[in-house]
Amino acid sequence: MRQLVSSLFAALCFVSLASAADLRLGIIGTDTSHAPAFTEVLNNPASKNHIAGARVVAAFKGGSPDIDESRDNVEKYAAELRDKYQVEIVAKIADLCPLVDGILLESVDGRPHLEQFRQAAKCGKPVFIDKPLAASIEDAREIARLAAESGIPWFSSSTLRYTDIVKLKSADMTGAIVWAPGPLEPHHVLDLSWYGIHGVEMLYTLMGTGCLEVTRTHTGSADVVVGRWKDGRLGVVHLERPYSKYGAVVFREKTQLAAIDDLSFNYANLVAVIVQFMATKKPPFPNAETLEMFEFMDAARRSKDDGGRPEALGAAN
């Protein structure tokens, strides 16, 4: 009996030490379903998708009263974090600094991301910025500038980057077409950053950087955005409104084409990458790729405004 008690005590000590070794993460923005979804993956060991190594311990509510998706969810998700996962809700972003080892900037609205990042950077901790990085190309560039100035490691990503879409990549790929939902939100100047960014991220996961110009055809129910890469490849994003499935087809020199017509995603895939990033402080892919995605979307905005004319990335900026 004494031996059993001793073994149980040792096991409990091990669990306690393992828990103590977990990275402590803080959330900015409880107005998105990603806040409780990511917390469930990290804080619930019984979850089938549990990712070990980090826990969400604190959160700042944030919220945007002029966007329904934010205003209607901020208190609900904050209560869920507090009551279900014992996450401390703090009054201001600065209060996260002594409590956490890394920060998840989750606000569903891209507009406050720059100011929220500015405050989070003062903590000196690595920051994951959920999509969209920002609501404008100017804000995206300023976040990158502030991060470099402050020495803050960061990355931003859609969950769709970490799906089976990576299986379609090949060295002989000559082009790609992706499709995704494309609802718009009037407060986002960079209109594709609200939701179309999922499709853009899928395309860049396949094509990589190097796009020179973009042409966009826009209707009330859809957008077709064609990018021309410097090596001659063409990449297409087809966005449907209000919603659609996710999918992709790639064209290849040797093996013709390959496709996934109904791409599914699992938040745990992205969360695992976030935990590794928080531990190593090394982004999983270059920040320059995220910034080029925003140049792609900005060129698409200008093309729409110009009646579908081709627009160069970085022009007029």
Q: Amino acid identity of 91?
A: A
Q: Amino acid identity of 297?
A: M
At 92-150, the pLDDT tens digits run 999 999 999 999 999 999 999 999 999 999 999 999 999 999 999 999 999 999 999 99
At 259-283, the pLDDT tens digits run 898 898 999 999 999 999 999 999 9
Are 2 and 10 in contact by the 8 Å Cβ rule? The answer is no
- Cα dihedral across residues 253, 254, 257, 260: positive or negative: negative
Mode of pairing for the β-strands spanning 23-28 and 102-105? parallel
At 276-315, the pLDDT tens digits run 999 999 999 999 999 999 999 999 999 999 999 999 998 7
Are 105 and 116 in contact by the 8 Å Cβ rule? The answer is yes
**For the whole model, what pTM was predicted?**
0.91
At 185-213, the pLDDT tens digits run 999 999 999 999 999 999 999 999 999 99
Q: Structural domains in the chain?
A: 2-159 (3.40.50.720), 160-265+285-312 (3.30.360.10)
Which residue's structure tokens are 């209707």? 219
